[in-house]
């Protein structure tokens, strides 16, 4: 059984179905919520994959996970039913990740990661997005923003193959590496 092929087929079917009903963005956002809960609450995965738990209870759990901000999208709830009916519970995370990938590809969304030492004001984030949008014309940029005090100051920005390390911790590592190389030559 090839997990990649199966999950891609399910994800493609979900995207087509959601696009037909013009709810692909809702499914995208709610899929992100479900995957986030899968990461935060490991017991959720065990419950969904447990064959003893009733199918309606699993659907109810997934529906509640998807509906954190508003009611769960009917297309996604129906899709959960199909996945459970075909006993593909163990592939659900792979399917949802494949859906996110296909959606981003279709909507031309670039994903970026921004790590800062302190939380940035919203205005600064918007200015940063505008600078990046100049490079990626015709695309949207999504940021995964994390605050990590261990970088001491500055920021680390990564988008695609692009990585800009403007952190103080990164600069200190660079100076240390240069110092070690220079001292090796002396000896």
Condensed to tens digits (0 to 9), the pLDDT of residues 172-184 reads 999 999 988 888 7
**Second-level CATH architecture of 3-105:** Orthogonal Bundle (1.10)
Instruction: Return d(Cα 154, Cα 171) in angstroms, integer.
Output: 10
> Cα torsion at 61, 95, 81, 34 (round to 10°)?
20
Sign of the CA dihedral 18, 46, 32, 165? negative
What is the helix (H) or strand (E) element at residue 44, kind and residue range?
A: helix 42-49
pTM of the model: 0.80
CA distances from 163 to 32, 81, 118, 156 (A): 24, 41, 19, 7
Each domain of the chain, given as residue ranges in start order, spans 3-105, 108-186
Instruction: Return d(Cα 118, Cα 127) in angstroms, integer.
Output: 17
Per the prediction, the chain carries an average pLDDT of 89
What integer pLDDT is reported at residue 83 of this predicted model?
Answer: 95
Q: Answer whether residue 41 shows pLDDT above 60.
A: yes
Average of pLDDT values for 66-71? 81
Q: Which residues of 158-185 are buried (b: 16+ CB within 10 A; e: fewer)?
A: ebeeeeebebebbeeeeeeeeeeeeeee
Residue 146 burial by Cβ neighbours in a 10 Å radius (0-12, 13-18, 19+): exposed
């Amino acid at each position: 059984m090839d997990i990649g092929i199966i999950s891609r087929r399910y994800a493609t079917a979900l995207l087509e179905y959601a696009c037909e009903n013009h709810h692909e963005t809702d499914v995208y956002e709610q899929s992100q919520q479900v995957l986030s809960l899968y990461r935060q609450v490991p017991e959720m995965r065990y419950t969904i994959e447990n064959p003893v738990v009733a199918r309606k209870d699993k659907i109810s759990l997934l529906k509640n996970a998807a509906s954190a901000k508003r009611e769960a999208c009917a297309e996604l709830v129906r899709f959960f039913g199909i996945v459970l009916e075909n006993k593909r519970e163990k592939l659900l995370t792979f399917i949802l990740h494949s859906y996110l990938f296909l959606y981003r590809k279709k909507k031309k969304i670039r994903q970026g990661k921004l790590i800062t030492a302190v939380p940035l004001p919203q205005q600064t984030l918007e200015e940063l997005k505008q600078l990046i949008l100049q490079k990626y014309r015709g695309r949207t940029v999504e940021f995964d923003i994390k605050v990590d005090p261990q970088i001491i100051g500055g920021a680390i920005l990564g988008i695609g193959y692009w990585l800009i390390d403007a952190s103080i911790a990164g600069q200190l590592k660079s100076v240390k590496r240069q110092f070690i190389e220079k001292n090796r030559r002396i000896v």
